[in-house]
Structure 1
Amino acid sequence: MKSNPLVRPFLKWAGGKRQLLPEIRKYVPKLTSKQTYYEPFIGGGALLFELQHPKAVINDSNRELINCYKVIRDSLDELIEELSKDKYTNSEMYYYGMRDLDRSTKEYENLSEVEKAARIIYLNKTCYNGLFRVNSQGQFNVPFGRYKNPNILDNAVLRAVNKYLKRDTIELLTQDFAKAVQSAKRGDFIYFDPPYDPVSETASFTGYDVNGFNRDEQKRLKEEFDALHKRGCKVMLSNSCTDFIRDLYNDYQYTIIKVRATRSINSNALKRGRVDEVLVLNYEIPAQ
């Protein structure tokens, strides 16, 4: 089936893979329609939408994010109607009023699922540098972006993503990453794109999860990587090129490939630019 170029990320995402896709595609194994694609840390979904595989299990622990995917799949017309309202203006005052809704539990809980999804899309398109970031209380805390004319409602992309997600062979989950891959079987392909191991004590490209993702979680992810390998699954992982990650996956049966990524989204301007990342594979590199 020919892929639809309009099926692409509907959110800007810190740590997103759009600019690395040509490199990642080189290492994606060939999949049949019977095999399932798993992405347990979906984020913006760049590789999912690039591949448009007919069978997929999509997961993220970020409930607000998965709610956006579900609303686009199940309630697209209502979402478009909501985002079309005049109130979604690119103004600093309205932005901070919308951002601060999650400071009031009662006010936030009174929002419908469609309104919650519209809020996240609006904030994402108008916030500074496209960061999805929450503080220790789980509150969105990115400042206003001051863009001249952000495209808050991208009708064509939302409709294309809706058409792809509506397939009954696409499953959306909000679980721990290990639970999300429990059904994976021999030959299935799993792409792990977790919050990255920080390259310094203060650096973090993907700090969107209120619970964080520390090195104990990285070790638990490595255990899941090993378990999937033993099960006969094909597994690819992205992460930062730190000594910790390279040592963690320094196993004779895995291949570590260093790639250069351009990071244009980070709260610290000094941490944007060219950075080293790694891809870890448990299978032979596909022939080009």
Structure 2
Amino acid sequence: MIDKNIKTDIRSPLKWPGGKKRVLKHIRAMLPSKGKKRLVEPFVGGGSVFLNLDFEEYLLCDTNKDLVALFNAVKHSPLSFKKDAQHLFNQKNNTADKYYELRQRFNDNTDSYERAILFLYLNRHGYNGLCRYNKSGGYNVPFGRYKKPYFPSDEIDFLANKLQRAEVISGDFTLAFEQLTSGDVVYCDPPYSPINRTSNFTAYSGAMFSDEDQERLVESSINAQHKGVATVISNHYVAFTKKLYASADQRSLFSVQRSISQNGKAREKVKEVLALYDAK
């Protein structure tokens, strides 16, 4: 059950585009809590939501295998992970040449633990906290040129503690929905439907999240209602999602300041929606 008094300013160890830290108050207000034991997140991303909500258990899912590997490394080997990752955070490694050398090492590596360590380094040293892969699956975010990238020691400790109550899996969001049981509540933060229909903001972990995928998510949420499970979905509020969530039991609209250009410099208020498909 959600503890209304729990501290709600916990940061993820990862910088993550579209993180929900600034809109947690809206999510908390919408997300059912009474009698709910497990929070299920089919699109866990950086983890800001589950880190700031108190449930007995968590099921966390994401298509990004490197993200899942990092979470599992922190869960099972927190001390080793922190020591090995911190070793990369020094001025010698904070140069463009070294960044691209380590990025290539990451792309050439097949060991999930080694990739997890390098993933944190790349996330903190890469441009604007982006997570982007090319069509061949290669990580291709450019060097960020930060004066002194922050090593998230306390954030890793908190994440490691929270993950002891979590199962973390990699796959399509339907994998999480297939594992729902009575007592669960679902929060979905899918790749957002674009404000501009010609934009490419739905790119997610090297894949596209299409209108048909958005529709599949609503279908899964409706099916979950009949299992006694409530689902809340976040998205941009545009013509497509207004129609898409027309059957939701409740909708909440609010404005959020977000980047609306690929260079990350143009920021303005955009409308977002939370759609609730309540348990039947």
The TM-score with structure 2 as length reference comes to 0.89
- Write out aligned runs for 1:132-147 (5 A): 132-147=131-146
Partner of 2:20: 17
How far apart are 1:91 and its partner, in Å? Answer: 1.2
Partner of 1:210: 206
Partner of 2:100: 96
How far apart are 1:163 and its partner, in Å? Answer: 1.3
Does structure 2 retain, via aligned residues, the 8 Å contact 1:14–1:265?
Answer: no
How far apart are 1:205 and its partner, in Å? Answer: 4.5
Of 220-229 and 77-86, deviating more is 77-86
Note the residue ranges of structure 1 that are not aligned, 5 or more in a row: none
How far apart are 1:283 and its partner, in Å? Answer: 3.4
Across the aligned residues of Structure 1 and Structure 2, the Cα RMSD in angstroms comes to: 2.3
Partner of 1:29: 32
Note the residue ranges of structure 2 that are not aligned, 5 or more in a row: none
- Write out aligned runs for 1:35-46 (5 A): 35-46=37-48
Partner of 2:109: 108
How far apart are 1:80 and its partner, in Å? Answer: 1.7
- In the aligned structure 2, how far is the partner of 1:31 from the partner of 1:248? 27
Does structure 2 retain, via aligned residues, the 8 Å contact 1:130–1:265?
Answer: no
Q: What are the superposed Cα offsets for residues 256-281 of structure 1, whole Å, 9 maximum, x if unpaired?
A: 22121122596333653321111001
Q: 1:52 to 1:91 in 2, by over 3 A?
A: farther
The letter of the residue matching 1:28 is: L
- In the aligned structure 2, how far is the partner of 1:278 from the partner of 1:187? 25
- In the aligned structure 2, how far is the partner of 1:279 from the partner of 1:219? 15
Does structure 1 retain, via aligned residues, the 8 Å contact 2:106–2:115?
Answer: no
Does structure 2 retain, via aligned residues, the 8 Å contact 1:191–1:235?
Answer: yes
- In the aligned structure 2, how far is the partner of 1:119 from the partner of 1:31? 40
Q: Aligned with 2:196: secondary structure?
A: coil
How far apart are 1:132 and its partner, in Å? Answer: 0.9
How far apart are 1:202 and its partner, in Å? Answer: 4.2
- Write out aligned runs for 1:7-86 (5 A): 7-32=10-35, 35-85=37-87
Does structure 1 retain, via aligned residues, the 8 Å contact 2:124–2:149?
Answer: yes
Does structure 1 retain, via aligned residues, the 8 Å contact 2:9–2:21?
Answer: no
- Write out aligned runs for 1:137-176 (5 A): 137-151=136-150, 153-167=151-165, 170-176=166-172
Compare the two structures and name the one with the higher strand fraction: 2
The letter of the residue matching 1:99 is: R
Q: 1:134 to 1:244 in 2, by over 3 A?
A: same
The letter of the residue matching 2:243 is: D
The letter of the residue matching 1:160 is: F
How far apart are 1:6 and its partner, in Å? Answer: 7.8
Q: Aligned with 2:12: secondary structure?
A: coil
